[in-house]
Amino acid sequence: MTSVGENWQTKCSTVSDRTKFIFNGELLSDVKFVVPVHVSNGETETKEIPAHKFVLAISSPVFYAMFYGKLAENTNSVELPDCEYESVLEFFRFLYSDEVFLTESNVMHVLYLAKKYMVPSLAEECTTYLQDNLEASNVFSILPNAQKFEDKALEDRCWEVIETHTEEAVTSDEFVTLERSLVESVVKREKLRVKEVELFKAVDRWATKESEKQGTTPDGKTKRRIIGEEILKEIRFPLMLQKEFASAVFDSNILTIKEIGDLMKHYSNVSLMSPLPFVQTPRIGAFYHCHRFEEVFAPADHQWGYTSKESDKICVSANKPIWLHGVQHFGSEGGEYTVCLEVKDAASGSSLAKQSGTYMSENYKSNNYYGYDVLFNCPVHLLGGKTYMIASFITGPKSWYGGEGKPSVECRQVEFTFTTLGKNGTNGTSETRGQFPAFLFSCSCLSP
């Protein structure tokens, strides 16, 4: 037994201090845990962790049953072949001290142990750590575990990250490691912020990796079998640009000759004998930004204010049918705004959609201004060549605003034209200055 100083108990004023003192030490130890340790040459060795049955039993009902229950085994050695040394050590540290040092590399293993040995307070610590450190780059390493451990709150948070940062998530290294069922769940989600061609590329990479795992050649036929019809039919090929389709999809050889031919007819507006088998409505959140200002001005230079009488208004038309997902607004640093956004048919005055809410301004670093997006619950279908009025009644602090606006802007092969609705009642917004720095849209070849 390791030598300890006399009267060590007197130096530990609390029970917690005393259990910390005996943690991972031979003093009073009556059980050892044998755990694998990975060494530098890739081989595995084992290492012992001394422990105390009483401390473990008062912390975990599983350990209580193991050491003191009716079927308790009279053993002084327990092997944990499915665990890792560092993670077990952190797990025990929590049982002895209510402290744990979580890292990206150990948190999943510690969570596994917390669930296995029924220590809910530690499981909660792990979940909080994961939520606080959840990013698009690691979300697909966390989501499968959240589902495995039936942690609904963590799973929901994972899906929020995937829906908000889809492109970064599906291009991460973890995406190609997913089970097929989870890939299908991703592709079937309506709320994704990613170009459809990038989603296809991600699925193609995943299928290639799966083919390699199976020891087969990743040709088009093999990848289609791996992907399956349920996933393939959910990829919205009709919403891709023809150039995107030709460069990314055609050479993958995943689609049949007929499917390729029908899609090429679709891109060329040639009538089809039968409807396309692919979804053609845009996902909520998958959109592009049409920016209309050459310059932006900060409140410190020229402030854009809001009255209780006027809305900011602008008329917009596109030369092709589009789906309008929302409108970006200027804000200010730390600014909170209450907005009622409405889209109307400019000719008839009939309302097509409304969206209201309170929004916090954020820093759009790539555009060098503060603002916020007001998104519709469902995208609004706008006809090509038809004029619509966009109006936002805004209350909040003075904000940034735009200048040197262009009456006509081309974005994603769609030409937008902006006009002022008269001289009054627009709060100063016009085609050359004011509110509405960007329109959030996706392309559409659909009839209304």
Q: For residues 36 and 87, is the Cβ–Cβ distance under 8 A?
A: no
pLDDT score for 447: 34
Residue-wise pLDDT tens digits, 276-312: 889 887 787 667 889 999 999 988 767 789 977 789 9
Would you say residue 152 lies in a domain?
no
Same domain, 179 and 325: no
Q: Give the three-state DSSP class for 120.
A: helix
Output the domain CATH number for residue 100. 3.30.710.10
The verdict on 349 and 393 lying in the same domain is yes
Mean of the pLDDT values across residues 30-43? 85
Q: Is residue 280 situated within a structural domain?
A: no
Torsion of CA 215, 221, 227, 233, to 10 degrees: 180
90/231 same-domain check = no
Number of domains into which the chain is organized? 3
What is the residue-averaged pLDDT of the chain?
A: 90
274 located within any domain: no
Residue 3 lies in a domain: no
Neighbours of 406 (CB within 10 A): 15
Query: If you write DSSP's letter for every residue of 280-348 in order, what string do you get?
Result: -SPPBT--EEEE-EEEEE-TTTS-B---SS--EEEEEEESS-EEEEEEEEE--TT-EEEEEEEEEETTT
In this structure, are residues 314 and 426 in contact, taking their beta carbons and an 8 Å threshold? Answer: yes
Is the same domain home to 434 and 308? yes
Does residue 439 belong to any structural domain of this protein?
yes
Alpha helices in 82-219 (DSSP H): 85-97, 107-116, 120-132, 139-148, 152-164, 166-170, 180-187, 196-213
Is the model's pLDDT at 121 over the cut of 80?
yes
Q: Is residue 142 part of a domain?
A: no
Residue 315 shares a structural domain with residue 428: yes
Q: Is the pLDDT of residue 270 over 90?
A: no
Q: Quick one: 303 and 422 in the same domain?
A: yes
Residues 344-388 pLDDT 10s: 999 999 999 999 999 999 888 778 899 999 988 778 889 999 999
Residues 251-262 have a mean pLDDT of 94
pLDDT at 423: 60
Looking at the fold, whether 247 and 323 belong to one and the same domain comes out as no
248 and 367, same structural domain? no
> What CATH number should be reported for the domain holding residue 329?
2.60.120.820
CATH (domain of 222): 1.25.40
In this predicted model, what pLDDT tens digit does every residue of 135-175 receive, in sequence order? 999 999 999 999 999 999 999 999 989 988 888 999 999 99
SS3 352: strand
Tell whether the model's pLDDT for residue 425 goes beyond 60: yes
- The reported pLDDT for the residue numbered 307 is 77
In the predicted model, is pLDDT for residue 446 greater than 60? no
Pair (300, 435) in one structural domain: yes
Percent of the chain with pLDDT over 70: 96
Rounded to a whole number of angstroms, the distance between the first and last alpha carbons of the chain is 82
- Domain identity same for 120 and 215: no
Nearest residue to 92 (alpha-carbon basis) of 62, 122, 128: 122
Residues 260 and 304 in one domain: no
* Weakest-pLDDT range from 241-245, 298-302, 379-383, 427-431: 298-302
Q: pLDDT tens digits, residue range 174-216? A: 999 999 999 999 999 988 888 899 999 999 999 999 999 999 9
pLDDT in tens, 78-111: 999 989 999 999 999 999 999 999 998 899 999 9
Report the distance separating Cα 102 and Cα 131, nearest Å: 13
Is residue 148 one of the residues assigned to a domain? no
Do the domain assignments include residue 415? yes
- In terms of residue numbers, what domain contains 359? 288-443
Q: Are 357 and 323 part of one and the same domain?
A: yes
Q: Which of 233, 267, 301 is the last residue of a domain?
A: 267
* CA-closest candidate to residue 311, choices 338, 347, 349, 291: 338
